Amino acid sequence: MHRRGPMRRMRVRAVKMLEERARARMTEVNKRFDVLIAGGSFVGLTQAIALAQCARGALRVAVADRTPLEAARARASDGRASALSAASTHLFRSLGVWARVEPHAQPITGIDITDSKLNSVMRPQLLHFDGGLPDGEPAAFILENYILRDALIDHARETQGLTFLAPEVVREFQVSGTGVSVQLEKAGAVDAALLVAADGRGSAVRKAAGIKTIGWSYPQAGIVATLKLEKPHGGRAIQHFLPSGPFAMLPLPENRVSLVWTEERARARELVALDDAGFLAEAKKRIGGRFGELALAGPRGVFPLDMHLARRFVADRVALVGDAAHGVHPLAGQGLNIGLRDVAALTEIVVDAARLGLDPGSAAVLERYQRWRRFDSAFSALAMDRINSLFSNDSAPLRALRSLGLGLVDRAPMVKRFFVREAAGLTGAVPKLLRGEAI
């Protein structure tokens, strides 16, 4: 047996003591942050990375998510992909995240929109957009959600000045004149100047802050699935408006497509429960024969759809971002893009305040954020809602009106250019990070 001498025992005790002191100091430091973010999914992690990087050490930032990291990574099983606008990709480029995902992102080369009936032999396109922005940059990319999530987790863990707590549940909080004391399930009470709610549509922070929402559930659900096509998709996205709701085919690398297929809720559950051959046969009825044979290339899922909008985006020392603030119909693939616009706006405002030595959770800072983001989000949510009701029906007068309206747009290059810039997220008061500018 190995015997330890007294000198060695003393050295071991001294090292242990130093380690304990260092741990205690760390815990002390980690009990006080400038910004604490509740929810570390797409929006929360991007918010945390953006604040920590743009403030260059001037802000202590923490993000807490209740999901253990291994489980967050394993969520590849949700099978979803997102359309990321050019503006969102500028944000990810500025933060250094884009290089991690770019090889897996499919640029959209065009969009074809139709509302033809499933039994028509010809499927005329009402509207089509080719190419992207005038400088050739694609207006949007399609990226599978699990690839973005993994990249954000890796990037957050490597970002200096950022503490990532997972699994950690944000329980409740109390606001005082100088800050907010947040109760975390494991770490206990933590102080911050600002609490950012990025905890999704059921946001506990939003509820605890006493912020009510307006909105409604759609009678529809969104089926998502990934298919492999026999014939090339050429990078084009297809939006087929059917009476039950929009059926979107979003191009992915390796000649795959991500389907976002809206149906009445009970019918959606029936379709997802079909065996592979039955599901593919239903998909083929909607896609037609032009892409040849179809094969399943990933899991299927079904998501209930709703529209919600927080009545206020801020409360005392609290700011809402992402789905905690708003949820929109996925027909134009804008939900996450709108959330990333919140992130870019809040980062710009908070970093500006920190540079001037101002309190990042002060009422003036929060009011500036709310003025910037609330109207824009409400406008997007209502626009998606109107488009869904205009297209999700089989009324003959509405069908005629749609054909006329979209036909006119198709013949008006200026209007089309505006829509492309809108899809690229480059209209309105665009925050610097979304324009690709440093802050």
Ligand X SMILES: Cc1cc2nc3c(=O)[nH]c(=O)nc-3n(C[C@H](O)[C@H](O)[C@H](O)COP(=O)(O)OP(=O)(O)OC[C@H]3O[C@@H](n4cnc5c(N)ncnc54)[C@H](O)[C@@H]3O)c2cc1C
Site of interaction with ligand X (CB under 6 A): 38-44, 64-67, 80, 82-83, 169-170, 198-200, 204, 222, 224, 260, 303, 322-323, 330, 333-337, 339
* H helices present in 166-226, as ranges: 204-208
Q: Closer to ligand X at the Cβ: 51 or 354?
A: 51
Least Å distance, CB 246 to ligand X, is 11
Residues 334, 260 contacting (CB under 8 angstroms): no
CB of 149 to ligand X, least distance (A): 9
- The residue at minimum Cβ distance from ligand X is 322
Which runs of E-coded beta strand occur in 105-187? 106-107, 110-114, 127-130, 140-144, 162-165, 170-175, 180-184
- Between 167 and 436, name the residue whose CB sits nearer to ligand X: 167
Q: Minimum distance from CB of 409 to ligand X (Å)?
A: 22
Query: Which of 246/360 has CB closer to ligand X?
Result: 246
CA atoms of 132 and 161, how far apart (whole Å):
37
What is the distance of C-alpha 140 from the center of its chain?
14
**Residues with Cβ < 8 Å from 143, sequence gap 6 or more?**
81, 82, 84, 101, 104, 105, 106
b/e code 196-231 from CB counts within 10 Å (16+ = b): bbbbbbebbbbebbebebebeebebbbbbbbbbbee
Rank residues 47 and 94 by Cβ distance to ligand X and give the closer one: 47
Hunting for tokens 């087929």 — which residue is that? 240
Nearest CB to ligand X, comparing residues 240 and 354: 240
Instruction: Please identify, using beta-carbon distances, which residue of 65 and 348 lies nearer to ligand X.
Output: 65
As measured in angstroms, the least distance from the Cβ of 343 to ligand X is 9
CB of 167 to ligand X, least distance (A): 8
Nearest Cα residue to 151 out of 187, 101, 91: 101
Of residues 197 and 354, the one with the C-beta less far from ligand X = 197
CB of 249 to ligand X, least distance (A): 12
CA 73 to chain centre: 16
Q: Which helix (H) or strand (E) holds 346?
A: helix 335-355
Closest separation between CB of residue 56 and ligand X, Å? 25
